[in-house]
């Protein structure tokens, strides 16, 4: 069975270490641990790498568009590779979760996340899996849009690295063991339980 695992972020070196690229960092970690490299897909602005998890095949994808325009390449890739939205996992940053928290969920609201809104539009349904990495809210009156485009602070870096590795493990568990097991094992931090 084939899964499509999408790491949301912005393209280019300037953004690679920012909070907004947490999702992209996760698919990079999955590819790296399997010794695979990303390659550009013809005619679609996306890079992919393929790995296995048991009997499951995972197409790891990083859109080459800016995050708010992720939907069209994700939708086109899912259609080309014949992956139903029910086997799509989108990994993304989440300012509404405390820094370091992790949530695995199926469907539901996008909470105003523009990258997710675009993917919902591209797949024509909100019913896909999400792995949400908590990056926390900006301090004081800082604009959230500016906050997510900053790199993790030196103080946060170690915990951010752990969060990315745990999220990669959560993706593996989700495709191998199912949603309930992945939630039980990996959902952590912050208030509100699995569906918040």
Q: What's the pLDDT tens digit per position in 39-49?
A: 999 999 999 99
The answer to whether residue 90 scores a pLDDT higher than 90 is: yes
Average pLDDT rounded to a whole number, residues 9-19: 95
Could you confirm whether 92 is annotated as catalytic? no
The answer to whether residue 78 scores a pLDDT higher than 50 is: yes
Confidence of residue 146 (pLDDT cuts 50, 70, 90): very high
Beta pairing partners, 132: 92, 103
Average pLDDT rounded to a whole number, residues 19-44: 97
**CA–CA distance from 42 to each of 39, 52, 77 (Å)?**
9, 22, 10
Question: What residue spans of 128-187 are helical by DSSP H?
Answer: 144-147, 154-177, 179-186
DSSP string over 8-54: ----SGGGTTBGGGHHHHHHHHHHHHTT---EEPTTSSEEEEEEEET
Average pLDDT rounded to a whole number, residues 112-126: 96
Average pLDDT rounded to a whole number, residues 33-42: 97
Q: What's residue 25's pLDDT? A: 98
Q: What's residue 189's pLDDT? A: 82
Q: What's residue 113's pLDDT? A: 93
Average pLDDT rounded to a whole number, residues 2-26: 96
The answer to whether residue 93 scores a pLDDT higher than 80 is: yes
Q: What is the pTM of this model?
A: 0.94
The answer to whether residue 196 scores a pLDDT higher than 60 is: no
pLDDT, the chain, mean: 94
Token look-up 């919902």 returns: 120
The answer to whether residue 26 scores a pLDDT higher than 70 is: yes
Q: Which of 19, 20, 92, 132 is catalytic?
A: 20
Per-residue model confidence as pLDDT tens digits over 171-195: 999 999 999 999 999 999 843 333 4
Average pLDDT rounded to a whole number, residues 77-92: 98
């Amino acid at each position: 069975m084939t899964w499509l695992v999408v790491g949301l972020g912005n393209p280019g070196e300037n953004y690679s270490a920012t909070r907004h690229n947490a999702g992209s960092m996760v698919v990079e970690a999955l590819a790296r641990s399997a010794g695979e490299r990303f390659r550009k897909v013809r005619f679609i602005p996306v890079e992919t790498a393929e790995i296995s998890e048991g009997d499951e095949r995972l197409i790891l994808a990083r859109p080459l568009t800016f995050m708010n325009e992720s939907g069209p390449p994700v939708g086109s890739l899912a259609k080309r590779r014949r992956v139903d939205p029910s086997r799509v996992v989108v990994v993304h940053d989440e300012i509404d979760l405390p820094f370091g928290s992790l949530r695995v969920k199926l469907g539901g609201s996008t909470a105003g996340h523009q990258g997710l809104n675009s993917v919902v539009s591209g797949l024509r349904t909100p019913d896909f899996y999400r792995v949400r990495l908590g990056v926390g809210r900006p301090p004081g009156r800082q604009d959230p849009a500016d906050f997510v485009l900053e790199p993790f602070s030196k103080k946060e870096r170690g915990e951010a690295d752990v969060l990315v590795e745990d999220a990669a493990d959560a993706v593996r568990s989700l495709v191998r063991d199912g949603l309930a097991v992945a939630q039980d094992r990996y959902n952590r931090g912050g208030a509100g339980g699995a569906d918040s």
